[in-house]
């Protein structure tokens, strides 16, 4: 009875060895055929890792061989077989490494790929308003009174993206930060490697103006975007069709498209007799990029523009923003501009990066054409400087003309060693300062004038996680909060913000 288990084990190993050898023979035949369907489907290199055949034999042959020579024991033969199997597994791992990326989730179709993406931004905001300004700021806040401190999620996004044969791609991303009121963000299908157009996306995507909006929230230096950037491109994404291209030397990149102006990320559709179309585009140039240093030095400029037909729908000519923090209401607010027929936008942007130091600036202006009333001009801009105390730099994507992922020299970690000491890595530390200005007052429109200084401290734990701290000192003045142009409010404010964030 005691010999049954070892014998069963050995018989199983013999069977495995025979199956492995059969697979090995089939594998050798597969890689020898250059036009093999497997080779074409996987698009593997013609030279794959070599898999050594696994030696196998029957129990009778083993016994006969052992009786004939008396040199190799049955146990030694099985040990050799186990060793061959381990080598076979290592060879299979090499094949898997060449054939595909294990981090890619398998989609419902064998011809498609699917990658899971997401981000979590947890915020804390505190408002410090003086007694003298509390009433005015309360009216700006929608008569909600003194702005309340806030704890919660700024973003909770989860989605998938991937490729569909032969040259298509897709993305679906949902936003869950509002609890039960979930919305979508990027939802599009697209075609790439096209002649002339290069890449075309159809669906909900960012309109192509405003560097700080085109930058992902995963990489932006400050918690919230400046007055003018968010006001002129609220929530950024619209349903439309856009083309994206880049020159062969990556010095130039461009994007342009046609969009519906309705914000549909909650309802999923725009309904009406008027298309409310908008044409927008951006041309960007990385005028200098230091390849030798790995992109630690570069310079960029871009110009963007848009023409939007509002069809006399005042809700489409409505420009507003919070105080560059998560308040209850918008403190700068033109309200719907009556009799607006169309408006034009033009924007300029510039970036200079020298090692750990970066300087960024943008300016945008909007002209609103009104029937039966004077035209209105609104404008604003911002500038900021940032510096890595630990020596890193802000990476740059030349293909899109936007900021890229920050990679610390050393990730943040803290462990106890076996000798009783501790060892740590401190991540990357960055300081930043921004000035922002917006003027939304013209003729009979009193959306207010905003001015703010923001001081930031960013602690990057690793390329996918960081903490951000902002202090904002600002002032909103001459904003209409009640009926009548003579009832204008002004007030100063101090705001503190912090964010803990990860993305994957």
Check residue 384 and give its pLDDT.
98
Q: What are phi and psi of 467, to 5 degrees?
A: -120, 140
Secondary structure (DSSP) of 33-50: -TT-HHHHHHT--SSPPP
Domain definitions of the chain by residue range:
4-101, 119-503
- Residues 6 or more apart from 286 whose CB is under 8 A from it? 250, 251, 252, 253, 298, 299, 300, 396, 398, 401
CB 428, CB 408: distance < 8 Å: yes
End-to-end CA distance of the chain: 55
Beta bridge partners of 112: 164
Cα 194-196-198 angle, rounded to 5 deg: 40
Beta bridge partners of 468: 458, 499
CB 436, CB 226: distance < 8 Å: yes
Check residue 131 and give its pLDDT.
92
Closest CA to 255 of 308, 200, 188: 200
**Whole-number average pLDDT of the chain:** 86
DSSP secondary structure code for residue 265 in this structure? T
Distance CA(215)–CA(400), nearest Å, equals 9
CB 218, CB 185: distance < 8 Å: no
Q: Is the dihedral of CA 463, 464, 465, 471 positive or negative?
A: positive
Distance CA(168)–CA(134), nearest Å, equals 54
Q: Is the dihedral of CA 210, 213, 216, 221 positive or negative?
A: positive
Q: Is 2.40.160.10 the CATH number for 119-503?
A: yes
Distance CA(217)–CA(47), nearest Å, equals 42
Check residue 99 and give its pLDDT.
57
Distance CA(339)–CA(371), nearest Å, equals 5
Check residue 18 and give its pLDDT.
52
The H-or-E segment that residue 500 falls in is strand 488-503
Q: Say which residue the tokens 């033009």 belong to.
A: 346
**Secondary structure of residue 410 in the 3-state scheme:** coil
pLDDT tens-digit profile of 59-93? 445 455 555 555 667 777 778 888 888 787 777 67
Report CA-CA distances (Å) from 334 to 18, 122, 435, 458, 463: 79, 30, 22, 33, 39
Distance CA(419)–CA(234), nearest Å, equals 55
Tell me how crowded residue 231 is: count the other CB atoms within 10 A of its CB.
27
- Low-confidence residues of the chain, pLDDT below 50? 1, 4-6, 8, 12-13, 19-56, 58-60, 62
The H-or-E segment that residue 437 falls in is strand 428-442
Check residue 415 and give its pLDDT.
84
Q: Is the dihedral of CA 384, 214, 224, 364 positive or negative?
A: positive
Distance CA(431)–CA(429), nearest Å, equals 7
Tokens matching residue 429: 């530390």
């Amino acid at each position: 009875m005691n010999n049954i288990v070892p014998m069963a084990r050995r018989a199983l190993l013999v069977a495995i060895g025979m199956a492995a050898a059969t697979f090995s023979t089939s594998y050798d035949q597969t890689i020898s055929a250059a036009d093999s369907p497997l080779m074409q489907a996987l698009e593997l290199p013609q030279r794959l890792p070599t898999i050594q055949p696994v030696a196998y034999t029957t129990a009778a042959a083993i016994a006969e061989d052992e009786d004939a020579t008396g040199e190799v024991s049955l146990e030694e033969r099985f040990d050799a077989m186990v060793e061959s199997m381990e080598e076979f597994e290592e060879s299979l791992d090499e094949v898997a490494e060449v054939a595909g990326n294990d981090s890619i989730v398998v989609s419902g179709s064998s011809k498609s790929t699917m990658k899971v993406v997401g981000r979590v931004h947890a915020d804390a905001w505190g408002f410090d308003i003086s007694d003298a300004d509390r009433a005015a700021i309360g009216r700006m806040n929608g008569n909600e009174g003194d702005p309340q401190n806030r704890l919660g999620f700024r973003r909770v996004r989860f989605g998938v993206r991937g490729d569909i044969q032969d040259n298509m791609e897709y993305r679906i991303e949902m936003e869950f930060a509002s609890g039960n009121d979930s919305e979508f963000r990027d939802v599009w299908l697209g075609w790439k490697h096209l002649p002339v157009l290069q890449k075309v996306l159809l669906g909900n995507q960012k309109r192509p103006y405003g560097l700080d909006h085109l930058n992902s929230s995963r990489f932006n230096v400050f918690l919230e975007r400046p007055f003018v950037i968010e006001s002129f491109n609220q929530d950024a994404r619209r349903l439309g069709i856009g083309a994206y291209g880049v020159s062969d030397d990556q010095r130039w990149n461009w994007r342009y498209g046609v969009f519906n102006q309705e914000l549909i990320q909650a309802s999923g559709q725009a309904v009406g007799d008027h298309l409310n179309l908008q044409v927008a585009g951006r041309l960007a140039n990385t005028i200098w990029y230091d390849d030798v240093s790995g992109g630690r030095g570069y310079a960029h400029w871009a110009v963007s523009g848009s023409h939007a037909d509002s069809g006399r729908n005042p809700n489409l000519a409505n420009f507003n923003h919070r105080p560059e923090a998560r308040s209850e209401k918008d403190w700068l607010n033109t309200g719907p501009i009556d009799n607006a027929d169309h408006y034009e936008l033009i924007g300029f942007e510039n970036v200079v990066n020298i090692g750990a130091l970066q300087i960024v600036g943008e300016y945008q202006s909007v002209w609103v054409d009104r029937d039966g009333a004077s035209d209105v001009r609104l404008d604003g801009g911002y500038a900021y400087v940032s510096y890595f105390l630990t020596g890193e730099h802000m990476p740059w994507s030349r293909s899109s003309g936007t900021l890229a992922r920050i990679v610390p020299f050393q990730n943040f970690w803290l462990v106890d060693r076996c000798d009783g000491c501790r060892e740590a890595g401190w991540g990357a530390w960055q300081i930043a300062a921004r000035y922002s200005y917006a003027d939304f007052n013209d003729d009979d429109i009193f959306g207010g004038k905003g001015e703010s200084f923001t001081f930031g401290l960013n602690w990057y734990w690793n390329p996918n996680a960081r903490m951000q701290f902002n202090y904002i000192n600002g002032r909103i003045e001459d904003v209409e909060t009640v009926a009548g142009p003579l009832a204008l409010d002004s007030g100063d404010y101090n705001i503190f913000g912090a964010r803990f964030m990860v993305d994957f």
